[in-house]
Structures are given as structure tokens and as C-alpha cells.
């Protein structure tokens, strides 16, 4: 069930001392000659490890990923870039790789310097501990306010995809304070991994929100060892695309379910929008509305708030198209609004999962979004924790 499930990967997770007690440094590497790709935050403020990793990825196929938690190495100026580079160089030396073959990811407090001495000593220990059973340790070492490790595996004919992720606050499209590392033994040519990664991410990590925040450090990395003994065909490519998407969707689901303070997971489904883009804008607006999310915390099927949010979804400098007289809305399958007419129904929303389906009756655009509720604990965690 871990990132080391596919053939040709080793991983480790150790306590380097960046955080007080918990594991805080993960190392994943391909055994042999692999390929890979990554997608990054679109925040204008890029953390140093993102800057350095983007440069490395432009030069070489990635063979290893270093992830530290505790310090984000963001807003740390030139020194931050030097520190990220030193991390990659130290890992490369330990693993017999070129520095450009190593990606570095960080998550934690913004503005604090990376304790490079702790990181390099930790890397020594991690390189020593590398193992084909090390996936679970690695998955633990990348966590911050997460309450549990997030791992997923999916298999196809002759191949396996494994993955790990972290992220519970600041989750939002464009990969906000969310890190995911995916591994597969499905053989991919150099430069090819991104074509599989991009659509999988769009339908998973870019369709979830815990609090509408987009961080400086977010990244999704895919590594392929190519170790699966199979002949590629169009059919096997399609199977791989599905398996990769399944792992991404599973990890995204785990992230939202572990949202900071979350007591409920809501699945927002928008259909009948004038366009696909407008469907996604509306789904996202509902999923990030504080009023919708506090109502869900109160287990109140407060559909007026859903409608008000849907009517104010930013789109093309205005709002996405919506005609209130055509809108239908259900909570957990119970209609509260049919073609604009209130139904006087009282849907049951007492559970830990809530399905909200909005049909705009305008066109063919549809989109889904996962979100969590907004609870006292979200406020407590984020008022207390300096992240």
C-alpha cells in the first residue's frame, strides 16, 4: 500500500531533527534508470526548493526526491536557494547521481531558514535506511498538521502505481501546501511522464479544497522506474492512465477527509452549466464558501447559501452564467430545489459524507469538487500553529 509497491523503488523516512520528535525527512529513489515529471504551485511566491527543482527538471530526468517537513524554505532569499541546492547535491553524492537528477520538496513554516546541517546528516541516515519496504516511513516523514499518513496503490496488467501525499490545511487548486510523490514501474520514455501526470492531477488534486489557500511549496512528482516487464500498447497506456488517476483521486480524497478540523467530507457535483469552465468555477466557489462550509459543520442543508455561492462564481471578469429559474439542487439525493421551485424538503445531512448536486439546466458543462466543513478545530489549529 505504499510508494515502494511498484518494482524498482526504495524509500526511507527518518527523524533529522527539523521537527522536535516526529520523522521529518523522506527519501525516494528509483533503482536503475528512470524517468519522471512534476507539477508545481502557481503561486507567484515560489519556495526555494521549487525554484531549484524546476531548474533540475529542465536538465535531467528525475531519479530521486528528497522531502523535508517542518520548514518550507520559502521567503528565504538567496540563502534558501543555496540551501535547497546543497540538499540536492548531498543527496546526489550519497546516491551516485548528478545533482540535477534529484528533486527537493519542503513543507512547513514559511520564512524560517532550512537547517542544512540537520538535513544533510538526516540524508546520511536516510540513504543508509533506503529499502524497498521504506514507503510507509517516507509517507510518515512528509506530514505536518496531517493526522494520518496518506498512501495509495493501484495495479494494472503487469504494472503498479503507488503514491504518498501530505496536506490538510491550505488545500486548494494549484496544489496548495500539498505534496504528493507517485511512483510506477510502468515504462515511460524520457519526457513522456508529464502527459500522463497532467490530466490525472487536474481531475484529482486540482479539484479539492479545504480552505481555499494556495501555497508556495506545492508539488506533485511522478517517478517511473520502468521495471515492469511488459510490452506497451495503446490499451496498456490507457490502463496506466486510469491507475495513475485512481491513485491521485484516492490520495486527494484522503487529503480532504483529513482536512484541518474536518468533521464532514462534501462531494460537490455541478452539471448543466453553460460550459465546463463555468461548471468548475461554480463547483469551486461552493466548495470554498465559508458560509456553505459552516452550515455543513452544523449539519444544516442550508441550500440558500449554496445557491448564493453558485451565483457569485468568478468567471471571465464577471460571474459564471446561472438562471435561478432553471436551477435544481439535491442534498444526499433529496431535492430541495427543482427548476427554481423550493421543495420544502428536509434532507438528512447528519452523516460524515454529504453529496450536493447542482443542475443548472443551461448546457452540458459539468465538474466535481471535494471539500470539507469549516469547524471550530480549523480555527483552533490555524490560530495556534505557525505554518
Which range, of 157-165, 196-204, 207-215, 246-254, touches a second copy by CB under 8 A? 207-215
Quick one: which of 125, 202, 230, 319 contacts a second copy (CB under 8 A)?
A: 319
What sign has the CA pseudo-torsion 306, 373, 72, 163?
negative
- Residue 22 lies near a second copy (rule: CB under 8 A): no
Site mask, a second copy, residues 287-316, x = CB under 8 A?
-xxxx--xx-xx-x-xxxx-xxxxxx-x--
Minimum CB distance to a second copy, residue 282 (Å): 9
Window 29-88: residues binding a second copy (CB under 8 A): 42-46, 72, 74-77
- By DSSP bridging, strand 179-184 and strand 219-224 are parallel
**Is 358 among the residues that bind a second copy (CB under 8 A)?**
no
Could you say whether residue 352 binds a second copy (CB under 8 A)? no
Interface segment toward a second copy; rule CB under 8 A; list 143-151, 190-198, 221-229, 376-384: 376-384
Closest contact distance (angstroms) between CB of 17 and a second copy is 21
Residues in a beta bridge with 103: 65
Give ∠ CA 321-323-327 in degrees, rounded to 5. 110
Check residue 369 for interaction with a second copy (CB under 8 A).
no
Which range of residues in 118-126, 127-135, 158-166, 337-345 is near a second copy by CB under 8 A? 337-345
Half-sphere exposure of 374 (CA within 13 A, CB side): 17
> Based on CB atoms, which residue is closest to a second copy, 187 or 259?
259
Phi, psi of 256 (to 5 degrees): -65, -40
Using CB under 8 A as the binding rule, whether residue 387 contacts a second copy is answered as yes
The mark string for 84-123 relative to a second copy (x by CB under 8 A, - otherwise) is: -------------------------xxx------------
Q: Considering only residues 132-191, where is the footprint of a second copy by CB under 8 A?
A: 169-170, 174, 176
Q: Which C-beta is closer to a second copy: that of 93 or that of 109?
A: 109
Cα–Cα distance for residue pair 159/156, rounded to 1 Å: 5
- Write down the H helix ranges in the chain: 48-59, 77-95, 116-129, 135-141, 193-202, 234-257, 276-287, 290-297, 303-310, 376-384
The least CB distance from residue 377 to a second copy, in Å, is 9
Residue 112: CB partners within 8 Å, gap ≥ 6? 71, 72, 76
Name the residue with cell 540524508: 123
**Distance from C-alpha of 168 to C-alpha of 259, rounded to nearest angstrom:** 4
First vs last Cα of the chain: how many Å apart?
A: 29
Binds a second copy (CB under 8 A): choice among 117, 158, 342, 351:
342
Burial of 275 (0-12, 13-18, 19+ CB in 10 A): middle
Set of cell numbers at residue 91: 543527496
DSSP 8-state secondary structure symbol assigned to residue 131: B
The Cα 85–Cα 63 span in angstroms is: 16
Q: Which of 87, 140, 144, 177 is catalytic?
A: 177
d(CA 262, CA 107): 21
The CB-of-38 to a second copy minimum distance in angstroms stands at: 19
Q: What gap in Å lies between CA 270 and CA 278, rounded to an integer?
A: 9
Could you confirm whether 177 is annotated as catalytic?
yes
Query: Cα separation of 251 and 296, whole Å?
Result: 23
How many residues lie near a second copy (CB under 8 A)?
66
Phi, psi of 372 (to 5 degrees): -120, 175
Our finding on whether 350 is near a second copy (CB under 8 A) is no
| Smallest separation, CB 314 to a second copy (Å) | 7
* Interface contacts to a second copy, rule CB under 8 A: 42-46, 72, 74-77, 109-111, 169-170, 174, 176, 211-216, 288-291, 294-295, 297-298, 300, 302-305, 307-312, 314, 318-325, 337, 340-342, 374-376, 378-380, 382-384, 386-387
Catalytic residues: 177
Amino acid at each position: 500500500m505504499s510508494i515502494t509497491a511498484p518494482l524498482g523503488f526504495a524509500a526511507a523516512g527518518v527523524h533529522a531533527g527539523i521537527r522536535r520528535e516526529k520523522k521529518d525527512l523522506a527519501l525516494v529513489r528509483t533503482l536503475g534508470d528512470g524517468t519522471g515529471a512534476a507539477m508545481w504551485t502557481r503561486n507567484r511566491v515560489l519556495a526555494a526548493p521549487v525554484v531549484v527543482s524546476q531548474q533540475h527538471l529542465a536538465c535531467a530526468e528525475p531519479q530521486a526526491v528528497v522531502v523535508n517537513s517542518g520548514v518550507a524554505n520559502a521567503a528565504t532569499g538567496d540563502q534558501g536557494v543555496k540551501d535547497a541546492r546543497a540538499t540536492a547535491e548531498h543527496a546526489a553524492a550519497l546516491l551516485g547521481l548528478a545533482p540535477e537528477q534529484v528533486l527537493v520538496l519542503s513543507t512547513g513554516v514559511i520564512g524560517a531558514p532550512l537547517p542544512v546541517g540537520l538535513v544533510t546528516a538526516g540524508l546520511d541516515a536516510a540513504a543508509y535506511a533506503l529499502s524497498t519496504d521504506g514507503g510507509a516511513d517516507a509517507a510518515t516523514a512528509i506530514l505536518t498538521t496531517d493526522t494520518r499518513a496518506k498512501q495509495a496503490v493501484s495495479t494494472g496488467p503487469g504494472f503498479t502505481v503507488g503514491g504518498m501525499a501530505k496536506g490538510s490545511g491550505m488545500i486548494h487548486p494549484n496544489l496548495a501546501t500539498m505534496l504528493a510523490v507517485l511512483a510506477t514501474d510502468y515504462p515511460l520514455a524520457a519526457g513522456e511522464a508529464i502527459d500522463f501526470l497532467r490530466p490525472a492531477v487536474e481531475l484529482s488534486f486540482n479539484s479539492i479544497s479545504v480552505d481555499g489557500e494556495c501555497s508556495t511549496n506545492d508539488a506533485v512528482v511522478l517517478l517511473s522506474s520502468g521495471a515492469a516487464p511488459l510490452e506497451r500498447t495503446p490499451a496498456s497506456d490507457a490502463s496506466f492512465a486510469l491507475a495513475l488517476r485512481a491513485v491521485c483521486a484516492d490520495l486527494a480524497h484522503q487529503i480532504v477527509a483529513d482536512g484541518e478540523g474536518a468533521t464532514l467530507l462534501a462531494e460537490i457535483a455541478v452539471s448543466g452549466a453553460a460550459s465546463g469552465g463555468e461548471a468548475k468555477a461554480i463547483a469551486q466557489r461552493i466548495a470554498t464558501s465559508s458560509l456553505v462550509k459552516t452550515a455543513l459543520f452544523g449539519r444544516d442543508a442550508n441550500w440558500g447559501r449554496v445557491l448564493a455561492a453558485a451565483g457569485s462564481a468568478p468567471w471571465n471578469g464577471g460571474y459564471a452564467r446561472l438562471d435561478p429559474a432553471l436551477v435544481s439542487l439535491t442534498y444526499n439525493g433529496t431535492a430541495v430545489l427543482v427548476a427554481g421551485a423550493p421543495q420544502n424538503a428536509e434532507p438528512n445531512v447528519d452523516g460524515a459524507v454529504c453529496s450536493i448536486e447542482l443542475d443548472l439546466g443551461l448546457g452540458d458543462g459539468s465538474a466535481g469538487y471535494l471539500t470539507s466543513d469549516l469547524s471550530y478545530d480549523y480555527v483552533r489549529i490555524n490560530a495556534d500553529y505557525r505554518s
